[in-house]
Structure 1
Amino acid sequence: MFNRKHGFSEAFVRGCHSKRLSKRDYEELGRCDSLEDVKTYLESISDYSDYLRNVQPPVKPEDIVACCKRRHVKEFNTCQHQASPPLSTFLEYLTYGHMIDNLMLALNGMLHGRSSEEILDKCSPIGLFDSLPSVVISGNVQELYRLVLVDTPLAKYLSGAVSAADLDELNVELIRNVLYKEYLQDFMKFCSTLDLRTNELMKNLLDLEADRHAIRITVNSFGTELSKSVRTTLYTNFGTMHPDGFVRLATCETVDEVKQVLVTYPGFHEVAAKDDAHDVDRGLRILELESCQRVLAEQFNLAAFYAFSKFQENELSNLMWLTECIAQRQKSSLGEGLICIDTHL
């Protein structure tokens, strides 16, 4: 049944995944002395050539990043156009996280008086909704709130939790966390209606994402006015660390205390050994990608599409970091930002 409905789409994403940049590719890219060299290498080893051939010198980091985005959007859109239920609904859920990011980028940019071009350039094409460009151009924050309620699936996460009066600079991160919590819980509920193996795999992946969400909220709240009681309300109602670990996270006041909570969970021992908050978050991202790679080793499940999207996001993040390091002649910093999980199965 799965193969008849979704077999072609699964084969398509596995084919795209086989073309992700490998560890060896990143090693070779790290030896490049200029962005022109990066462009030449990417054109020689992948289908990035279809997107890079019209990039003219001098090559800038944003040129290569834009090509990466276009490639990923084409892959995702092709997958969406082929999909039938329940995969089509599953893929819609994958766009919601990007929609939340775009909404926060728009809100933050409008509050700080940034140009519409600057805001829209940073938005993910996968999370765009039709009316966003016109509202960003108008600069009307209240209209942005109305738009989300009328024109996007985020309405069910926003309505009742956030009011138009909350849309100010102090509340941007709070709103993001509220929306993301509601999104994760809704996604988990939807996954529980899917086939048994997809549900099992997605529960593991979303449990880890819920843990990351809670840890990120906790660490980012240090030194802010966010109270411990409010912090607790932003955690999801599931996760590897739920409920006891989340209760303990809510009382943490330093990164070391967070690490003391993590070390009590076998899956987080290596993460707990990291030096600072950046390394902890990086360790969690590595755990996520390793889990995604294990999912991709299996067949006939929708979780593979989630895993594929996470590798897309990581490749974009890697190319952002790599191109900036090379452009700024800071190649010694490459290892601090690159996460290289070999994708070739």
Structure 2
Amino acid sequence: MIRLLQFEADKRAINICVNSLDTELSPQEKAKMLPDVGKLSEQSFKHQLIEAGDLEQLKIIITAIGEYKNFFDDGGASGSNKNLEDHFYEHEMNLCRDAFTQQFTISTVWAWIRSKEQEVRNITWIAECIAQNQKDRINNYISVY
């Protein structure tokens, strides 16, 4: 469960930092909004996140953590065209899959609920692709293992 909660906190911290780049938010206000748990909550990372002035600096800070090193890749040559949210969902589904290989705890329930939420997003994505006649993009969903 710790890994799931740490990732949830880190995901929120990344979103807060990315969304606050072009605002007049002071470093003190940003520090109040960042979670106190997660891998990015360590003082060195937290201070760097607060002081980051542009997206490139944020990318360097976030990709320093091994699990998050590919979060800002856009697919490039593979043509997958994944954005940051897609990387979040994909990583979360990997963590959820791993939660099912452990003893039954609250993390298993959490993982099951999150997997069902992803299934709903996938069905919505497929329906929207069909409705908009974008059938070539139907397979760009996040797999639920």
Whether the TM-score (by the shorter chain) exceeds 0.5 is: yes
Q: Deviations over 1:98-157 (max 9, x none)?
A: xxxxxxxxxxxxxxxxxxxxxxxxxxxxxxxxxxxxxxxxxxxxxxxxxxxxxxxxxxxx
Measured against aligned partners, the alpha-carbon deviations of 1:48-91 in whole angstroms (never above 9, x if no partner) come to xxxxxxxxxxxxxxxxxxxxxxxxxxxxxxxxxxxxxxxxxxxx
Q: Taking structure 1 as reference, are residues 296 and 217 closer, same or farther at Cα in structure 2, changes over 3 Å only?
A: same
Deviation at 1:207, TM superposition (A): 0.5
| 1:220, distance to aligned residue in structure 2 (A) | 1.4
Where does the alignment leave 5 or more consecutive residues of structure 1 unmatched? 1-201
**How much does 1:254 deviate?**
2.7
- Distance in structure 2 (CA, Å) of the matches to 1:302 and 1:313: 17
Match of 2:26 among 224, 227, 230: 227
1:289 pairs, out of 82, 93, 96, with 93
Structure 1 residues 319, 227: closer, same or farther in 2, change over 3 A?
farther
Amino acid at match of 1:203: I
Q: Which has the larger radius of gyration?
A: 1
Q: Of the candidates 261, 265, 269, which is equivalent to residue 61 of structure 2?
A: 261
Displacement of 1:290 in angstroms is: 0.3
Whether the 8 Å CA contact 2:118–2:144 is kept in 1: the answer is no
Instruction: Report which of the two has the higher share of helix.
Output: 1
- 1:212·1:284 contact (CA, 8 Å) conserved in 2? yes
Residue by residue over 1:225-245, the C-alpha shift from the partner in whole angstroms, topping out at 9 and shown as x without a partner, is: 333321111111111121222
What is the CA–CA distance in structure 2 between the aligned matches of 1:310 and 1:319, rounded to whole Å?
14
Please say if residues 228 and 251 of structure 1, whose CA atoms lie closer than 8 Å, have aligned partners that are also in contact: yes
SS of the counterpart of 1:241?
A: helix
1:251 is aligned to 2:55: no
Q: Give % identity.
A: 26
Deviation at 1:312, TM superposition (A): 1.1
Amino acid in structure 2 at the alignment position of 1:285: Y
Aligned residue in 2 for 1:236:
35
Q: Is the 8 A contact 2:72 2:83 kept in 1?
A: no
User: Quick check: 1:295–1:303 contact (8 Å CA) kept in 2?
Assistant: yes
- Taking structure 1 as the reference length, the TM-score comes to 0.37
Tell me: CA distance 1:256–1:309, structure 2 relative to 1, closer, same or farther (3 Å).
same
Give the 3-state SS of the residue equivalent to 1:212 in structure 2. helix
TM-score, structure 2 as length reference: 0.84
Secondary structure at 1:237 match in 2: coil
CA 205–224 in structure 1, closer or farther in 2 if over 3 Å, else same: same
Q: 3-state DSSP class of the match of 1:284?
A: helix
Q: Counterpart of 2:78?
A: none
- Which one of 217, 220, 223 corresponds to residue 16 of structure 2? 217
Is 1:332 aligned to residue 136 of structure 2? Answer: yes
Is the Cα–Cα contact under 8 Å of residues 262 and 268 in structure 1 kept in the other structure?
Answer: yes
Matches within 5 A, 1:56-95: none
Superposition deviation, residue 222 in structure 1? 2.5
- Asked if 1:321 is matched to 2:125, the reply is yes
- Distance in 2 between residues matched to 1:273 and 1:246, nearest whole Å: 22
Q: 1:280: which partner in 2?
A: 84
CA distance in 1, matches of 2:87, 2:62: 12
CA RMSD between the two structures: 1.9
Is the 1:260–1:272 contact (alpha carbons within 8 Å) kept by the matching residues of 2?
no
Provide closer, same or farther for how the CA distance between residues 218 and 319 of structure 1 changes in structure 2, counting only shifts above 3 A: same
The answer to whether the Cα contact below 8 Å between 2:99 and 2:111 also exists between their aligned partners in 1 is yes
Amino acid of the residue matched to residue 144 of structure 2?
A: I
What aligned pairs does 1:80-229 form with structure 2 within 5 A after superposition? Answer: 202-229=1-28
